[in-house]
Structure 1
Amino acid sequence: MRSPEELNGKEKPLGLEVIEAEEKEFRFNRYLYQLVGEAWSWTDKLSLSDDAWERYAENENLRTWVAYRKGSIAGYYELQRQDQGNVEIVYFGLAPKFIGQGFGGYLLTHAIDSAWSWGDTQRVWVHTCTLDHAAALRNYQARGMKIYKTEKAPSIGGSCGLSRS
């Protein structure tokens, strides 16, 4: 997405709150990654050491938001600021119990809004792959994102994290 005007936002569902985790704590990011990613075979970061997790999650160019429903974690996303005004939605997803309740469209709207409001953003982008939820690509496109490139990548441990296309 190259302009905030391209966003086709979805309204906030009743009872869903999205809060930025402003105090960085790598263990929390690891927990969110496991909670949301387990169903989708996110495995690329599972073998990282505490030091590697800390370098990743507590980096000033990474921000994390968590969606809560009645005090429970419903989902999360991470944004990473990159060169030339690019902001990547690095991880995005719902906890298994909250899939199918209409939260994904709003959480993605929130993620894209947050990305555009972060400094001098010129482009918001995301990787996805066939291991993600069947509705993931439709959600990205429904919010106004366009396919930039598709490629067939060899499987490397059953994860979209490194082989997303």
Structure 2
Amino acid sequence: MSAARSVTTWFLEQTAPEDLRGSESFGGQAEFAAREAPGGLRIVRAEVPSAAFSRFLYSEVGADVEWIDRLPWTREEWTAWLDRPGVETWVAYERGTPAGFIELDGATEDTSGRATEPGATVEISYFGLLPGFRGLGIGRRLLSCGVERAWEMASRWSGRPPTSRVWVHTCSKDGPYALRNYQRRGFRIYAKEVALEAAPGAVPAPRPPGASGAGAPPM
């Protein structure tokens, strides 16, 4: 039997665009996508939903921090998730190579009962960098850009009300700087949970997004 371990989860939020701090303003998605930041960094929205690309980002960024929930997803499940109005993937490229991503979920209602503000919310459902691009300042710029895009999401989706709250949760299994990075961008902790979990065992083998069963064709 695997030994139990204590896992702490922090829930953080911003409730106004002015809460974002410690960042350079990117001046809008088109402007930032069209120019390179110092070091050759570009942040671009993946406007065509791609199960294969999103799964690559998810599995590579989360390989060493126990991101396993989506590994069994089929191509159809990935596509259904990504194709909803209000779900956006913003990708950081360092000199043309994918370095990390931030996924914004403005389509799922926050029914946790913890929300401090009513209205249209956007969750940062996933955010992280591939191992080779950590510690270079990319995460700070990517997170800041993603939060700005979350606050202005209504400008990209017809009929969507203005964002009233941007929230995220992170836990002690994530990278050692995750919580501090969110707090430095102006996120405030509004809830905290501590739970016992089984220690990690074998990580499920990645399954191609198109594999819905035996004999299913690869992506």
Matches within 5 A, 1:55-74: 55-74=80-99
Q: Secondary structure at the match of 1:150?
A: strand
Whether contact under 8 Å (2:92, 2:99) holds in the other structure is yes
* Distance in 2, Cα, partners of 1:97 & 1:106: 16
Matches within 5 A, 1:27-106: 27-81=52-106, 82-83=108-109, 84-106=119-141
Compute the RMSD of aligned alpha carbons: 1.6
Q: Secondary structure at the match of 1:152?
A: strand
CA distance 1:42–1:68, shift in 2 (3 Å): same
Q: Secondary structure at the match of 2:58?
A: helix
Query: Which has more radius of gyration?
Result: 2
TM-score (norm 1): 0.90
* Distance in 2, Cα, partners of 1:125 & 1:13: 28
Deviates more, 1:23-32 or 1:141-150: 23-32
The yes-or-no answer on 1:125 pairing with 2:160 is no
Deviates more, 1:58-67 or 1:68-77: 58-67
Which of the numbers 17, 20, 24 marks the counterpart of 1:4?
17
Q: Secondary structure at the match of 1:23?
A: coil
Counterpart in the other structure of 2:151: 116
Question: How much does 1:154 deviate?
Answer: 4.0
Deviates more, 1:109-118 or 1:81-90: 81-90
Whether contact under 8 Å (2:39, 2:94) holds in the other structure is no
Whether contact under 8 Å (1:3, 1:123) holds in the other structure is yes
* Distance in 2, Cα, partners of 1:153 & 1:49: 29
Counterpart in the other structure of 2:195: 153
More helix by share: 1
Question: How much does 1:10 deviate?
Answer: 2.3
Counterpart in the other structure of 2:47: 22
Aligned residues: 158
**Which residues of structure 1 form unaligned runs of 5+?**
159-165
Counterpart in the other structure of 1:162: none
- Offset from partner CA, 1:81-122 (integer Å, 9 cap, x none): 144210000000011000011111111100110000111100
Q: Secondary structure at the match of 2:192?
A: coil
Whether contact under 8 Å (1:13, 1:103) holds in the other structure is no
Question: How much does 1:153 deviate?
Answer: 3.1
Deviates more, 1:94-103 or 1:6-15: 6-15
* Distance in 1, Cα, partners of 2:177 & 2:83: 30
* Distance in 1, Cα, partners of 2:22 & 2:153: 18
Runs of 4+ in 1 over 4 A off after TM superposition: none
Q: 1:124 is aligned with what amino acid?
A: V
* Distance in 2, Cα, partners of 1:9 & 1:107: 12
Q: 1:116 is aligned with what amino acid?
A: W
